[in-house]
Each structure stands twice: as C-alpha cells, then as structure tokens.
C-alpha cells in the first residue's frame, strides 16, 4: 500500500548505512545561515524526531537509517569531514561528497557548479510516477510476482488515497508531469516510465520501471509517491537504495550517487514546499534507506523514491491535493535533480 512492494523491511539495511553527514550539513552557507535564523525550521525537525521517537503507526516497521545527533544539525556541522565512503563516486560529477565542496556564499542551494547549462546538456532524467490509476482494475496483473534480485514481489500495487478519494497514482502522475515540464525547460531530456491511460492500463511492473531508467542511461531517476500511514504522521521522506546484491540486483555503484541525489532533493523539497522531513521515520532527516524496493534494487542508475507526504493525514492531504503545492513539490524535486547534475 505504501510503496511499490509490501514485505516488511529487514534490519539489514541499517548496517549498510555509512556514518554520513545529514543532507542539511552539506547545504550552502546561505541555507545554513537561514536555518540558524529560523530555528523553527531546522532545529524543529530535529526536535520532532527526538520527541517522535521514530515510531510508525503503520503495520510495517519503519526503516530508519540516518543516525542523527542533535549536534549534527548545527550549522558548524557543515565544516565537518566528508563521508567515509567513496569521495567522488557520483557519475554526475557532483562535488557534494568532498570537504572541498563547500559552496561559495550565495550559491544556490540546488547546485554550485558555475557552468550550469553545460552541466545539463545531453543529460537524461527518468521520472517514475508511482503506481497507475488503472491498477485497481487490474489486480490479477499487478499481483503477478516479479524478480527484484533479492526476492520476488508483486508487479505493482494500487497505491494509497486520501480519505476523500484522491489517488496516490493521480498525485504521482500530476507531480511527475509538472516535474517534467520544469526539467525540460532547463534543457534536460526527460523520460516518464509511463503515462497511464490506454497505452498503460496498469503498471508498469517494478522491474520494468527500473529497466526503463537503466536503458535510458539516466543520469538521475526519481520515483514519485505519497505515503499512506495514519493521521498525525506528517512530512516527506526520500528513500535511498541499500546495498543489495543478488539475482539481477547489484546496487553497490549507485548507493553513493543516489544518496547525493536524495540529499539534494530533500533539501530543495523542504525549501520550496515548506514541508518538514517525516516525523514518523528517518530520524528527522527526511532520508531513509530500504532494500525491499525492486525499483531501487534493480536500478543501475542513481535513483531515489520520494514520498511527498502522508495522504492519510488531513493536513498533509490538503497540501497534496493542492495544485499550487504540487507545483512547489515539482520545483523542489527539479531543483534537487538539477543541483545533483551540477546545473
């Protein structure tokens, strides 16, 4: 219901997490300064996590992976060392991973590269609108099991809805098309994994969704979703691939660039929408790692999912149902992608 697959997460992904800096520790000095001025934004997220304890009301335990200390959210954390992993693993050449990557004052939080146009030329982004409005009428087809490398899962799921019936599949398609328009205006080539309708009465299956990104040689892939957990659980989170190897899955090469992509998107999404990172998982970082999503496991390109909010919470649902808010969401995701690509 919540994601494209349904088995409970295993604890193994937690051990695969590098002691990375949180995404906001890498943001520009401008943003950090703004956060210091407005502690209700940044510090508030941390407090939310501490008070919330990460408990989920959903039947599935959350997969929390970004260890967070209160000090990590301090602006001074931006000067701390880089990640312990690969220093420059991003195929996009994103400089975000290294200590020398501190952005210049006044730099856009979405990116620091000066040659923006060149950085985006010839680049491809694949957008994956989560679920399909037709899935409800094709339960047999979408329940077919497919190989996700480490396991077998349903081809696709119906997704969730708001209490008033606004479907996650409608939401994800709307945001995806808005996102496509923003990215195309930047000169990027954009591929949607599907546009529902007659050409795609259901699905695609999650393995095909991954394959579309791979075959497009996408420089970045984003799967757009909204969550469906109980009222009171609010905010967005970005899902990053765990280290998975088995069958057709081998995520080793995409883990670090996907993290960089996810951090960029989380930071920009928070900025454009005003939404806070989820208060029910992710330790207040807005970042979660999972190893049970075929769409991530089978990807060979930098890829993340974004859960833009909780459709079952009235306040989040009001935002998700607003075209104006969805445009801000698309803008934030786009800014994150563009920043990741160095534009």
Nearest 10 degrees: Cα torsion 277, 278, 282, 285:
10
Q: Which is nearer to Zn ion, 24 or 325 (CB)?
A: 325
Q: Which is nearer to Zn ion, 218 or 226 (CB)?
A: 226
Q: For residues 296-315, which are near Zn ion according to CB under 5 A? A: none
Total interface residues for Zn ion by CB under 5 A: 3
Does residue 9 touch Zn ion according to CB under 5 A? no
Q: Kindly state the smallest distance separating residue 228's Cβ from Zn ion, in Å.
A: 8
Q: For residues 71-110, which are near Zn ion according to CB under 5 A? A: none
Out of 49, 184, 307, 324, pick the active-site residue: 307
Does residue 129 touch Zn ion according to CB under 5 A? no
> How many residues can be counted in the chain?
343
Q: Kindly state the smallest distance separating residue 158's Cβ from Zn ion, in Å.
A: 9
**Per CB under 5 A, which region of 9-17, 46-54, 122-130, 330-338 contacts Zn ion?**
122-130
Q: In the bound complex, which residue of the shown chain has the CB atom lying closest to Zn ion?
A: 225
Both structure tokens of 104: 């210049």
Q: For residues 138-177, which are near Zn ion according to CB under 5 A? A: 159
**Per CB under 5 A, which region of 99-107, 130-138, 142-150, 276-284 contacts Zn ion?**
130-138
Q: Kindly state the smallest distance separating residue 297's Cβ from Zn ion, in Å.
A: 16
207 touches 148 (CB < 8 A): yes
> Is 170 part of the annotated catalytic residue set?
no
**Per CB under 5 A, which region of 42-50, 124-132, 138-146, 178-186 contacts Zn ion?**
124-132
Q: Which is nearer to Zn ion, 42 or 289 (CB)?
A: 289
Q: Which is nearer to Zn ion, 229 or 341 (CB)?
A: 229
CB atoms within 10 A of CB 88: 15
Tell me the sheet residues that pair with 289. 240
Three-state SS string across the chain, please? CCCCCCCCCCCHHHHCCCCCCCHHHHCCHHHHHHHHHCCCCHHHHHHHHHHHCCCCCCCCCCCCCCCCCHHHHCHHHHHCCCCCCCCCCCCCCCHHHCHHHCCCCCCCCCCCCCCHHHHHCCCEEEEEECCCCCHHHCHHHHCCEEECCCCEEECCCCCCECCCCCEHHHHHHHHHHHHHHHHHHCCCEEEECCCCCCCCCCCCCHHHHHHHHHHCCCCEEEEEEEECCCCCCCCEEEEEECCCEECCEECCCCHHHHHHHHHHHHHHHHHHHCCCECCCCHHHCCEEEECCCHHHHCCCCCEEEEEEEECCCHHHHHHHCCHHHHHHHHHHHHHHHHHHCCC
Q: Kindly state the smallest distance separating residue 138's Cβ from Zn ion, in Å.
A: 16
Q: Which is nearer to Zn ion, 31 or 229 (CB)?
A: 229
Does residue 225 touch Zn ion according to CB under 5 A? yes
Q: Which is nearer to Zn ion, 159 or 332 (CB)?
A: 159
Among 95, 103, 130, 149, binds Zn ion (CB under 5 A): 130
| Alpha carbon distance 272, 325 (integer Å) | 9
**Per CB under 5 A, which region of 8-16, 218-226, 295-303, 312-320 contacts Zn ion?**
218-226
Query: Which residue is it, tokens 């960029």?
Result: 264
Q: Which is nearer to Zn ion, 225 or 326 (CB)?
A: 225
Q: Kindly state the smallest distance separating residue 288's Cβ from Zn ion, in Å.
A: 14
Q: Kindly state the smallest distance separating residue 294's Cβ from Zn ion, in Å.
A: 13
Positions that interact with Zn ion (CB under 5 A)? 130, 159, 225
Q: Any idea which residues carry the catalytic annotation?
A: 307
């Amino acid at each position: 219901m919540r994601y494209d697959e349904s088995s409970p997460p295993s604890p193994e992904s937690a051990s695969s997490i590098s002691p990375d800096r949180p995404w906001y520790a890498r943001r520009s000095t401008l943003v950090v300064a703004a956060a210091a001025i407005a502690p209700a934004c940044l510090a508030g997220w941390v407090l939310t996590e501490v008070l919330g304890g990460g408990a989920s009301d959903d039947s599935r335990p959350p997969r929390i992976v970004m260890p967070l200390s209160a000090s990590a959210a301090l602006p001074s954390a931006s000067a701390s060392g880089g990640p312990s992993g690969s220093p420059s693993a991003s195929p996009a050449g994103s400089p975000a991973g290294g200590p020398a990557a501190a952005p210049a004052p006044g730099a856009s939080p979405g990116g620091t590269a000066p040659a923006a146009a060149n950085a985006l030329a010839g680049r491809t982004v694949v957008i994956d609108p989560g679920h399909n409005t037709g899935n409800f009428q094709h339960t047999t087809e979408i329940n077919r099991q497919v190989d996700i490398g480490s396991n077998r899962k349903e081809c696709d799921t119906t997704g969730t809805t708001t209490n008033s019936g606004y479907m996650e599949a409608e939401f994800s398609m709307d945001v995806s098309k808005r996102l496509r328009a923003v990215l195309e205006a930047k000169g990027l080539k954009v591929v949607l994994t599907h546009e529902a309708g007659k050409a795609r009465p259901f699905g695609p299956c999650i393995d095909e969704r991954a394959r579309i990104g791979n075959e497009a040689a996408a420089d970045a892939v984003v799967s757009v979703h909204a969550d469906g957990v109980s009222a009171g659980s609010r905010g967005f989170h970005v899902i990053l691939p765990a280290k998975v190897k088995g069958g057709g899955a081998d995520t080793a090469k995409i883990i670090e660039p996907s993290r960089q992509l996810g951090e960029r998107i989380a930071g920009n999404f928070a900025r454009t929408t005003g939404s806070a990172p989820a208060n029910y998982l992710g330790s207040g970082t807005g970042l979660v790692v999972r190893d049970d999503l075929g769409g991530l496991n089978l990807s060979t390109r930098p890829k993340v999912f974004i859960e833009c909010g909780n459709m079952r919470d009235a306040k989040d649902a009001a935002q998700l149902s607003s075209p104006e808010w969805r445009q801000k969401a698309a803008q934030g995701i786009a800014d994150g992608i563009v920043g990741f690509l160095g534009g």
